[in-house]
Chains A and B, each alone.
Chain A
Amino acid sequence: MSNDADLTNYDSIAELFINHARQPDSWNNLYERPYMLGKLPQLRGKNVLDLGCATGFYTEHTLKERANVTAVDASQKLIDRLASEMKSPKLKLFCADISKPMPFLESDSFDCIICSLVLDYIKDWDALLNELYRVVNKGGQLIISIVHPFASYLHIKPDSYYDFKLVEDDWGGHHGIAFKTHYYIRPMNEVFRPIIKSEFDIVSIEEMLPDEGLKETHPEPYQRLIERPGFLFIMLER
């Protein structure tokens, strides 16, 4: 494993993270997942790659939609957990560092790649985007969510907005399950550059707004998310 993967993979915090992300009022559940699910194409019978599958939320969703799913994560513990939780002839699981070439994935083999809140853990996107371009079908889509660079700046308060570096952050405190994560902050420049340089076509880049339903059920997160940036949604196409 690369140094990156050692620092950012979830092996050391697998249980805590799963507990965190599965909380009904986690940002994953209230904000990111509703937005992403609203953007996913028809998946029935499709070959889907869930890259950085973590808790397996999208893996499970796409299996239910009757897709064939390949799920990859750097954490052996998360992969082991998914292997015991989800039994399906339509599911393939791999433990691998996605910042490196993935020869176990066939070229031109996926109709849709879901890359949810994983690129923040990867420093060099150029190599990864090349590899994903190789494995996606012509006409296939790569659907990405990341932390918005403006949101990271306001949250982490680095010396410079342009800092591109690994940071340590504390999550889960409000659920009484505090743990540390490591991810990269980078300016918008370092989001656009590799995407524009890649062979993909840009279908959309959107600042995720919360679902209107959140206004009633969770007014505080709703207010926060309509006042300041949260996550960024990116759809690319081969």
Chain B
Amino acid sequence: MTSDAELTSYDSIDIDTYLAHVERPNSWNNLYERPYLISRFPPLKEKNILDIGCSSGFYTEYALNNGAHVTAVDISKKMIERLTSRLKSPRLRLFEADIAKPMPFLETESFDYIICSLLLHYIRDWDIPLAELYRVMKKGSKMVISTHHPFAIYLYLKPTSYYEFKLVEDTWAVQSDNQFKVRYYMRPLGEILRPLIKSRFTIKSIEEMLPNEGLKDNHPGLYRRLMERPGFLYIELERQA
């Protein structure tokens, strides 16, 4: 493992605490990120999907339920073990691996669609993973990415400089009895765009995720927060046909 991976892998935190946090019905994942990403998915039936940094396995399970063949990769041994016992399907392959490094176990030009949800902020250097993901995608296929919005992180963490590119430690679930610490990289927008533009991908879209209109009635506080300040960033890349 790289030192990055040791620092940011979820193996260092209690998996049950983490899962209880992200899978609670009113998590940002459930109310904000997942509805946005799912609304962008193409039909998944019979497609080869790569769920990179699968974590709790939400998208792996979603894609399996929609008739896809799924390859799920995560750096956390505990997450992969958990998924192995939870999801049994002949259409599922699971790998424990550090995404910041080459992944020779993934075949070249083999995936129709890649889901990279809330993962890249755990990785410092994006050049290698982007090149590797480009290699394993079929020509004409797409990758969707969600990640922290750099300006949201600036307003939230209040570092001395907006341009700081560094590993930070954050406490999640602060309002519960089960607080836990996570580590991720903060970086300015320029350090998101540089590797994307430098890569061989075509940028199809870079969007600041707005909340679903349905949230207005069900969770007005969160809705207003997300309408007033940035939350997550959505990025769609294509390997040209």
Interface residues of A (CB under 8 A from B): 150, 153, 159-162, 187-189, 192-193, 196, 202-207, 209, 226-229
Contact = CB atoms under 8 A, between A and B. Distances in A.
A226 B207 CA distance: 25
Interface stretch (B68-76, B82-90, B226-234): B226-234
- SS of B interface (majority): mixed
A83 B203 CA distance: 42
A196 B203 contact: yes
Nearest to B206: A192
A206 B206 CA distance: 15
A229 B191 CA distance: 13
B218 interface: no
Given A162-B210, A162-B227, A187-B208, A205 B197 contact: yes
Contacts of B151: 150, 153, 161, 188
B205 interface: yes
Contact of B207 (A189, A203, A207): A189
Contacts, number: 61
Contacts of B160: 227
Given A196-B203, A202-B203, A207 B190 contact: yes
A228 B205 CA distance: 25
Given A159-B228, A207-B189, A207-B190, A196 B162 contact: no
20 contacts: A153-B151, A161-B229, A161-B230, A162-B210, A162-B227, A187-B230, A188-B206, A188-B208, A189-B208, A193-B207, A196-B204, A205-B190, A205-B193, A206-B190, A206-B194, A207-B163, A207-B188, A207-B189, A227-B161, A228-B161
B197 A204 contact: yes
B154 interface: yes
Interface of B: 151, 154, 160-163, 188-190, 193-194, 197, 203-208, 210, 227-230
Given A150-B154, A159-B228, 19 more contacts: A161-B228, A162-B228, A187-B208, A188-B206, A192-B207, A196-B204, A202-B197, A202-B203, A204-B194, A204-B197, A205-B197, A206-B193, A209-B163, A226-B161, A227-B160, A227-B161, A228-B161, A229-B162, A229-B188
Contacts of B161: 226-228
Contacts of A150: 151, 154, 162, 189
Tell which of A193, A205, A206 has the most Cβ of chain B within 10 Å: A205
A159 B206 CA distance: 23
Nearest to B164: A227
